[in-house]
Each structure stands twice: as structure tokens, then as C-alpha cells.
Structure 1
Amino acid sequence: MRREALTDTFDTDVLIAGAGPTGLTLACDLARRGVGCRIVERGGRGFPGTRGAGIQPRTREIFEDLGVLDAVHAVGGTYPLIMRWDGETQLGTFDIMERHAPTPDRPYGETWMLPQWRTVEILTTRLEQLGAQVEFSSELTTLTQDTDAVTATVRRPGGGEDLIRARYLVAADGGRSAVRKSLDVGFDGAMLDSPPMLIGDAMIDGLSRDHWNVWPTAPGGMVSLSPVKGAESFYFLVHFATPGAQPDADRDARPDTLQHLLRRRTKHDLTIREVRWSSVLSPRAAMADRFRLSRVFLAGDAAHTHSPTGGQGLNTSVQDAYNLGWKLGAVLRHGAPPTLLDSYDGERRKVAADVLERTTRILGEDRKDTDTGFSRRGSDTHQLDLGYRDSPLTEERREALADDALHAGDRAPDAPCADREGSPVRLFDVFRGPHFTVLTFGDSPVPQLPEEAEGTVHAYRVRDATADPRTADLIDSAGHAQRAYADTGLFLVRPDGYTALATHDPAEVTAYLSWQYADASTAPGH
């Protein structure tokens, strides 16, 4: 029997610490599921920094599901070509990005550029549309756990303190996470082989915005000046490669000092009108020993920090939130066994470890590529091929599959179809929302859905153009859906867009769904 969010004796079901992209993605996902949540942020509204500017294709798909992709597309843009310079001499352009035209199964083929502050602004607006809001200038300072809940102390503007009691706490409070430290969770890692960097956003005159401008062999270390899509500023990155040299943001990012530094390094007559934000970056790779400790979850930079190379950190963090959101919703609103939440650590720690290895490798390749300053980013950075084949939540019941065939645990592909009336509809359209989706292909019978699953599972019969429309919910007239999935079979798609189950037996779909509303012994993997 479906149950409502359990807020009778609690201030909220889920308390989120940190209102960056991770916390906001999770808050939006929980809000649309009707899960009570509060999100506190120690800073004020409107952090100005670019940082995490690369929105990968998989994240664009997530943002489409959350209803923010149109806003993202309205203010961002594709990455420009890199123009290599030697002083005032142009050395030619270089494309750092691997770009693909949209395909039926992968509608977004390249990285989208959007400064992180814009992403945060868009997600904050979306959260407000969903009826929730960020509690700014509110810092979580202490927490305790018992068998039923987490009790957190939150310091408010002016110094007052509140106690918030929540069933679960999600720490999305960054690489220096106070929550992680208070729990004494290990955060093992190492500084990476790269010189320290001065980074930030500045209003710069005297340089074209048509290209991402890079001086790979500038005296004292590489200089990168990239026009920011969705803003009027340039994102600057300045290596301090001379042995012993250490940047100081307070000193070196003052407009006059930065102007002198860039003129000397680039030989261009640049004018710095304003520095909007600056910081010193010494790349580090680290990952928490665990992503869950009882009723507390670590997500985003609180769980893993990356080299910024390859544009993976923000995107991996958004996927953390997307993975956790549907599981919290299933437990808190629909009676799923709490053991479902154990899969968050198992699924996301493996992905984070793989991404850390990738970003560290890319940083090493960048260091070797002295001609351009940056190595080429392949399609493996798009995060479309990440999945959960080894997860205990994944059941692949078919046999003799090719390695490159769609397996349970893989991302569920998109495909253009039509409804019974002939109107265009994509598979992503039917996936959109907080529900599971069942797709049946060919002559596979439609599974019997558990009574308790009403409204939380949507089922569609996918047939080709020769089928009687009365026997189909989706007409795959061009065959794209059948090629992406299979000529026959049944696929259960999780709310986060990954295939949970692939089978030919409809009874296995019914059994898989039934565990959500029963005891933990019936769950996949038991």
C-alpha cells in the first residue's frame, strides 16, 4: 500500500546541506516526487564563478528530465575552437572537443558550455517552481544520528540556531565538507602532478571572443583565456610553472596586477576592467571511503574531488543526486525497503573511481601536450557509456548477448516514435518523470503490474509500422527503437534512465517491481 511522506514527527524527510548543482539537482528531484526536503546553504544567493562550465551530454539528458534543459540551452552555447598563440602570433586553431551530430539514441552529441553560477541559478528557479526554496546564509554546524533520524544544528543569519530533525541527511557541501569531517569519514587522495594555477572570471578588453585563446609556452607557464557562453566575462587560467612560484588570489587577481601579468605573458595589450571571482587551484584527486554512513549520504565534491580537466566533476556530482533521488523517493513515499538505499554507495563509488582515473589521465595528457596545452577530450567524457551492469539492482535475463548490445544496467537509449494518433513522441518523453517505465517489443506479452505500482510504473507496447495501431502504444515507424533495444523482449527502465531488467518473461518484470512494496528479502540480489 502506498504511503505518504513521513513528516508527522519530523521537520522534513530529507535535509540537504549545500545548494550547488548537486544539492539543487537532488532537491528538484525530491520535490517533484512529493518528498519533503529542506536545503540549507551557508553562502548567499549568487556565487559569481564559472567553474564547472562543461555540461556533458548525459547531464543534458538529466536536465531535460528535470525540466531545465530549455533554460540551459537558452543561455549557454557550444565550446569554441582553441586558438593557439605564441605571443602575438597565431599558430592556428585546434578543437579540444569530440563532437557528434545528434542521433536517434543519443540526442546530445557534444559538451555544452554554461558557467556554474548560471546552472545554479536555473536549478534554483526550478526548485522554486516546484514549491521549495533554498535557505541561504544557513550553515549546518553539528549533527547526531539515532535509529530513526538525523538531528542537525543550523546557524542562521545573525547567529541564531535551529534544530532540524530529518529522516535522512545528504551532504552536498563541497570538497571541504564539514559533514564528512564531522563523521570522520576518510577522504584519501593525492595532489596531482600539475603546477598551481590562478583561475577566475574577468572582464577583459583587447581580445576576440571568437576563440578560446591559449598560450601553451608563455613565459612562466601556460595562459588560457576562454570567453564564457552565457556571460560577458572570460575565464582565465594561469599556470605558475616556475619552481617555487605560488599564486596568491588576493595579490595576483587584483585588476592591475592581473593585467600586468597577462600582458607580460601574452604580449597582448589587454585591459582588465573587473575581476568577478578568483581562486588558486592545486589539482587534487580524492574519494571518500564510503558514500553512506547510516542515515547520512555524501554526494558531489563531498564524496569525490577531481582535476577540472575533462569537465567531469560537476557532471558526476549531478549523477550522484539523480541516482539517490529516486531511491529516497521509493523508500519514503512508496514503501520500498530501506536496503534499496545501500545501492547508492555501491553504484556511485565505482563510477566515481572510474571518473577519477579518467580525469587524472587527461591531466597527464595535457601536461605532455606542449603544442596545444590541452589534449583532446574523447566521447568517453560524455558519460553516456557509464552504467550499472554489476549492480545488485540489475538483472539481465537474456543469454548470448554481444558485448556491444544493450544490457541491463546500461543507459536506456532514446528513439523517435509516434503515438496511436501519429503524433511524434520520443522514448525520453515517456521516460520523463519520477516513474519506472516498461517497454515491450515485438510479440512479447505485457506484464501484469503489481496493484501497488499504479501510477509509479508506466507500460508501453512498442510495435513497428506494420502492426495494428490498436495493439501498440508507440509506433516505431523507422525502427530506431527496435535497433536500440531488441526486436523482442521486455525492458524495465529505472526512474534515472538506466535499464534495471531485460528479459523475455513478463513474470520477471512483475516480480522485480513487487519487491518495492514488500520486504527486503524479495529485492534483486537476494
Structure 2
Amino acid sequence: MTSLNAVKGTAEAPNTEVLVVGAGPTGLTLACDLRRRGIDVRVVERADRLAPGSRGKGIQPRTMEVLDDLGLAPAVRAAGGPYPRMLVRRPGRPVAEHDMVERAEPRAGSPYAEVWMLPQWRTQELLYARLRELGGEVAFGTAVTELAQDATAVTARLSTGGTVRAAYAVACDGGRSTVRAALGIGMTGTTVDPEPSVVADVRLSGLDRGHWHVWQDDTRGALALCPMAGTDTFQLFARHAALEEGSPPEEILRRLLATRTDLSPDQLKEVAHASQFRVNAALAERFRAGRVLLAGDAAHIHSPAGGQGLNTSVQDAYNLGWKLGLVLRGQAAEALLDTYEEERAPLAAQVLGLSTRLHGRAARRGRETQQLDLAYPDSSLSRHPAAPHPSPLSPGDRAPDAPLTAPGDSAPGGARRVFDLLRGPHFTLLAVGDAAPPVGLPAYLRTHAVAATAPYAPDGLYLVRPDGYLALITEDPGEVTAYVTGLASAT
């Protein structure tokens, strides 16, 4: 792939609005979000099918809220399950049983209380099915071999011989992103563990599927077998292990079972997928170069500890989708796209630090990994009026769920909860109590008059972005008008 260079002069008009490079969780989430906004999307994927393997198996509560908004929460809940308790075996010690995840019941503001297990391959299947329902498709076996951009569009040459010209392109092509390399964007980071690890999806006989089995040995290295919810497989994870070239994966994994566990190698019946990797933590030096943006692993690489990688990547897409949508429909200035890096790069750096701290530790995963507390208080899109509103919420906070009315009362459009009003590709203005909303607001913003209910109290105007974060809390309708007017001019 050649370096991406600006092409001067007038070029032909784009034949699609957004080119998404890569059909992993990031690219599929972005494509779904754009399609529901009516944006024309072309998704290309180098591989000939969706990536196999269960590697990213934890859907954090905040990501469940994203999938809920995309219409996928029921399917995700049906396909997965809660994390099982761990049985940890150490040489010379009795077997210990404990929870890796902090158990919690749904709360008023958080309908999804704890991480949900779903193999990554299944998450991708559900996202792909949703994309097709929305009229999108993926061109498999299609790589981007060359990129160029000018003032109006990006031109991509494809391995199949054709070209795509798009108003914008988004690199969702993983940690070894060829698009990022073509842009000349470096990665700054560190090696978390210099020794390789192996992850595999296997079928075993005679092993209890009600527990996550761990053999912890500081000399030989840890090995874990976790039953994958909704499947008949286990995810095998072995630290400080490698797949040897020329040796069948079955042979290597049977050897690992023999040397690191009390299982018989013959209990391994099938290896559905196996791969090895080294744990690195790295952040792209920038997330945007002209009309090309980076998302997911193309922008940041994580340790798998704490289940942050897939989740952070999905939320990159969720942050970027509404911004591209408004810009492409002429409802916001192109400068809005600069807020993508402004908001996501600091959070990605924060999550990288968390994943690195958790690597190799058996600490219970709780609130800090659920991503419900991630916020954008310092973003230029979070407007703090000179006279702060007395709400316990602040601009930049995630907008929590809440019941709208007492049982038996009516609610806007039959909605029962705040999330019912937020669901969809629009901004939402909650006119709480006696607060009077402004008139003449754009069509992408929906207004609902609701009774005050904690934490949406006291009375006021609560403006919620399409990605579920509070943009503004005020009693002055003029400030709401000024906010949306500002999107159309500059951010």
C-alpha cells in the first residue's frame, strides 16, 4: 500500500459516503450506526469471512447500552450468559473458588449491571445480521491496496481491481492497520508481556461447564479453560505459550494440557480455532488525517485483561457515527469531526492504563471495568453554563436511565424509561418539569416533556447527544438554541 498523499485538483464525485475498512466489531458497529442514519456505507474486509475465535468475550454494561440502542440487546442477551465462577488450582494448595466479576443487580440508572459473556465471533455475527437488516453489506476478500485523498473525498484502490471514492474513510482494520501505516501515523506504547500467549476455542470431554477452570503455576505458566456461553466450546488461554510452525495446534494444546493441568490430553476432542499473540499497549499519535479516521485497534491496542479492548472499540464507533452523520447531512460543520480524537484519545489512554495494570492480576473486575463512569467533562461539546444547574448530573456525563412516570401514568409515546426516549440516532431534549423548550429546533433533535425524576431533577432542559452523553443542562432555552446553532457553524 502506498503512502496516503493529497491529490490536488478537481476529482470526480464520491460514489459512497463512508468507506469502512475492516469488518470486526468496530467496523460493523460503525456501519450499523451510519446505515440507521441513512448514510451510504461501503464495508470492505480483507479476509474471506468474519474473524473466527472468541478472543473478546466480555460485553461490558456500557457496551450493552450501545447495543441496546442499535436494537441488538435482546439478541445479545439470548446468545450469551453470565460469567461463571472460577475454580483456581495452585500446586500444593486446595482448590479455591471465587468470582472474577463483581455480581450486581440492575439499578435504576443502569439496566445492565455486570459484564455479559459472548464470544467475539458471535458478537460479530449479530452485528453483521443487523447491518444487513439496515440495508448494508460487507465485501469480503477485498483489501485496500492504495489510498489517496483530495479536498472532497478519499479514493481507495481495491485488491479486486476496482476503486471506491468516499467522502470519508474509517480505518477499522486492527492493530496491524495497513491504512494507519499508509497514513504514516505512528503508535506510541510498550510491550506489556514479551512472552507470547495462546488463545483457542476447543471442545473437551469430561470437564464441568459450570465453572471457569484455572491452573495457576508461576513456573510453567497459567492455563485457563472458560466455558463459552451459548456454545459447546471452551476458550483456552495459556500464558507464555506459543504455536509452533509445522506442528498441528491439537498437538501443542494437548501438550499444554498434559504439562499444566490435571486433565488428560485425550480429553481435547477438537480445536475450532487457535492463535497466538503478544500483549502490547499502544496509542496512535493521532486519530485523524484529513478525511481518514482511525477507530478501534487501529487507534489503540490493549491487553485483554479487564475486557476493555472490544468495548472501547465499539464505543469509538458509537462516538464517531453520529458526528459523521451530521456532517454528511450538512447539519454540522466538518470541525465536529475534530472532537472525535479530542474525546476518544484521552479515554483510550486511560483504558490502556487500566488494562495494563490488570494484566496478570486475579483482582475482581468491577465498576472500573464496566465503562459506565467514562465521561467527557472537558470536551468542547460539553457546555457548562456560567450559572451551573443544580442537577447532580453534569455536562459530559453519561445520561443514566430512569423511570419516567409512576405505574399507570402516561409517558411520551408509551415510553416507560429515559432510555426509551434516547434510543435512536437523534439528539434528545428532556424538558423536565415546567422547563419550556425552545421552538424551531432541527429535525435531528427530539423534544420530550417529562416529569422530574431522579437524577433528572430539578426542572430544566437536559440535552442528550446521540451517543448518550449530556451536552448541556440549563434552564435557559436560548442556550439550547445556541448549542445546536454552534454545531452548524463550528464546534
| TM, length-normalised to structure 2 | 0.93
- Within 2, Cα distance between the matches of 1:507 and 1:255? 66
Do residues 498 (structure 1) and 469 (structure 2) align? yes
**Residues 1:382 and 2:370 are matched in the alignment:** yes
Aligned equivalents of 2:35, 2:115: Cα separation in 1: 28
Task: Write out the 4+ residue segments of structure 1 that deviate beyond 6 Å after TM superposition.
Answer: none
Whether the aligned pair in 2 keeps the contact of 1:18 and 1:41 (CA below 8 Å) is yes
Q: Is contact 2:295–2:317 with CA below 8 Å preserved after alignment?
A: yes
Alignment pair present for 1:262 and 2:257 = yes
CA drift of 1:425 comes to 1.4
Is the alpha carbon distance of 1:129 and 1:104 closer, same or farther for their aligned partners in structure 2, counting shifts above 3 Å? Answer: same
Map of 2:395 onto structure 1: 408
Indicate the residue corresponding to 2:25 in structure 1: 21
Q: Which residue of 2 aligns with 1:143?
A: 147
**Structure-2 change in CA distance of 1:130 and 1:199 (3 Å):** same
Report if the CA contact (8 A) 2:24-2:51 is conserved. Answer: no
Aligned residue pairs, count: 476
Aligned partners of 1:109 and 1:253: how far apart in 2? 41
Measure, in 2, the Cα distance between the counterparts of 1:36 and 1:200: 36
Q: Output the CA distance in 1 between the equivalents of 2:116 and 2:27.
A: 21
Q: Output one character per residue of 1:186-216: Cα deviation in whole Å (capped at 9) or x when no partner.
A: 1111111464212111111121111000011
Alignment-mate amino acid for residue 398 of structure 2: R
2:281–2:302 contact (8 Å) kept in structure 1: yes
Matched with 1:316 is: 312
The residue that corresponds to 1:70 in the other structure is: 74
Residues 95-494 of structure 1 mapped to structure 2, 5 A cutoff: 95-156=99-160, 161-193=161-193, 195-217=195-217, 220-240=220-240, 247-250=242-245, 254-270=249-265, 271-363=267-359, 366=361, 374-397=362-385, 399=387, 405-418=392-405, 421=410, 423=414, 425-450=416-441, 453-454=442-443, 456-463=444-451, 482-494=453-465
Q: How far apart, CA to CA, are the structure 2 residues paired with 1:260 and 1:375?
A: 29
**Contact 1:447 1:510 survives alignment (8 Å):** yes
* C-alpha deviation, 1:354, in angstroms: 0.5
Per mean C-alpha deviation after superposition, the further-off stretch among 491-500 and 37-46 is 37-46
Match for 1:514: what amino acid? T
Q: Given residue 384 of structure 1, which amino acid in structure 2 is its aligned partner?
A: L
Q: Are 1:397 and 1:504, in contact at CA under 8 Å, matched by a contact in 2?
A: no
Structure 1's unaligned 5+ residue stretches are: 1-7, 241-245, 367-373, 465-481
Contact 2:23 2:50 in 1 (8 A): no
For residues 301 and 398 of structure 1, the distance between their equivalents in structure 2, rounded to whole angstroms, comes to: 39
* C-alpha distance in 2 between matches for 1:252 and 1:412: 52
For residues 411 and 144 of structure 1, what CA distance do their matches in structure 2 show?
37
Q: Deviations over 1:87-113 (max 9, x none)?
A: 698512111112221011111110000
Which amino acid in 1 is paired with 2:332?
Answer: A
Q: 1:485 deviation in Å?
A: 2.5
Q: Pick one of 82, 88, 95 that aligns with 1:91.
A: 95
Q: Which amino acid aligns with 1:298?
A: L
Query: After the TM superposition, which of the residue ranges 263-272 and 34-43 deviates more from structure 2?
Result: 263-272
* Pair 1:252–1:198, CA change in 2 (3 A): farther
Shift of 1:408: 0.3
For 2:465 and 2:226, the matched residues in 1 are separated by 38
Query: CA offset at residue 437 of structure 1?
Result: 0.4
Report how far residue 336 of structure 1 moved.
Answer: 1.0
Amino acid in structure 2 at the alignment position of 1:181:
A
Question: How far did residue 302 of structure 1 move?
Answer: 0.2
Report the residue type matching 1:500 in the other structure: A
Alpha-carbon distance between aligned partners in 2 of 1:342 and 1:376, rounded to the nearest angstrom:
36
Indicate the SS of the match to 1:396. coil
Q: CA deviation at 1:17?
A: 0.2
Which consecutive residues of structure 2, in runs of 5 or more, have no partner in the other structure? 1-11
Alpha-carbon distance, 1:225 to partner: 0.7
- C-alpha separation in 1, matches of 2:201 and 2:123: 16
Distance 1:484 1:216 in 2: 44
CA RMSD of aligned residues (A): 2.1
| SS across alignment from 1:395 | coil
Amino acid of the residue matched to residue 212 of structure 2? W
Q: Distance in 2 between matches of 1:110 and 1:425?
A: 22
User: In structure 2, the residue corresponding to 1:232 is in which secondary structure?
Assistant: coil
- Structure 1 residues 444 and 424, CA gap change in structure 2 (3 angstroms): closer
Q: Given the superposition, is the C-alpha separation of residues 249 and 429 from structure 1 closer, same or farther in structure 2, using an over 3 Å criterion?
A: farther
Q: 1:90 & 1:202 partners in 2: Cα distance?
A: 27
